[in-house]
Amino acid sequence: MWTGLADRFADGAYASAKGRVRTSVMHHQLMEHLPPPPATVLDVGGGAGHQSLPLARVGYQVTLLDPSPAMLDKARARLERLPDDVRRRVTFIQAGGENAEAAVGGQLFAAVLCHGVLGYLDRPDDVVEQLCRRTEAGGLVSIMAGNAHAAAVRPALERRWSDALAAFDTDREIGVLGLPTRGDTVEGLSGLLRGYGVEPVRWYGIWLFVDWLDLAGVAVDPGDEERLASLAAVELEAGRRDPYRQLSRIFHLVGRKVQQSPTPGPAGRR
């Protein structure tokens, strides 16, 4: 799926003002919860490494797992531009998230990330189970997913009124890359995490004002570092507070592994 989209996704979406703000905000949120380096990090569906390579730069041992050779090539190219000590801290594995356990040889990690992946799956259950199983006791699980409760925001801002009306009663849409996507809820993913021995500890909003500007056609120069820093600071604060975080088009859920993964019961399958 990603072979033909790697350039557009890695070099386009992430290089935009909105992409850069998202990466910055997510990094700050992660650093509030991650153990200190050189802790191990598994980035499931890590793509071109926009979220995990900055972690390697500050000392974390990173394993980036992705099923797309094209995306992994993008990640390798970005890594080649970094210092030798950073390159030594990064491992690449080609595999899907549902096969993470076999792909990493059963290794456990201090933190497992899965950002922007679940929305492309028909159901999140199998990958969420793998995230939790690969996390060591006391370790961190970090999930970023589309906010099903705010599904009407994008079509409304694009003045697609019939699509906006329909979005109140569905968790499916065609995403900005032209692919079918599915939204999740904090409540639903929290239930799944608990079913696998991970207790949710906090959730944040991502993409509020910067998303509205983008969808309204208001350009923000991705090279204007001062303005991007100011915008990211506002987004970071909005993502911590209600009602702002509830209106964000995507959310970031953080959980802590409290026990070995049990066999999920009804509460874990939502």
Strand ranges in the chain using DSSP code E only, listed in sequence order: 40-44, 61-66, 90-94, 109-115, 135-146, 172-174, 180-182, 198-206, 250-257
pLDDT at residue number 177: 64
Give the model's confidence band at 214: pLDDT under 50 very low, under 70 low, under 90 confident, else very high: confident
**How far is C-alpha 165 from the chain's CA centre?**
27
pLDDT at residue number 5: 60
Which tens digit of pLDDT belongs to each residue from 153-168? 989 988 999 999 999 9
**pTM, rounded to two decimals:** 0.90
* Domains, in order of start, for the chain: 6-257 (3.40.50.150)
Which tens digit of pLDDT belongs to each residue from 23-82? 999 999 999 999 999 999 999 999 999 999 999 999 999 999 999 999 999 999 999 999
Distance CA 70, CA 7 (A): 9
SS3 94: strand
Residue with tokens 């208001």: 218
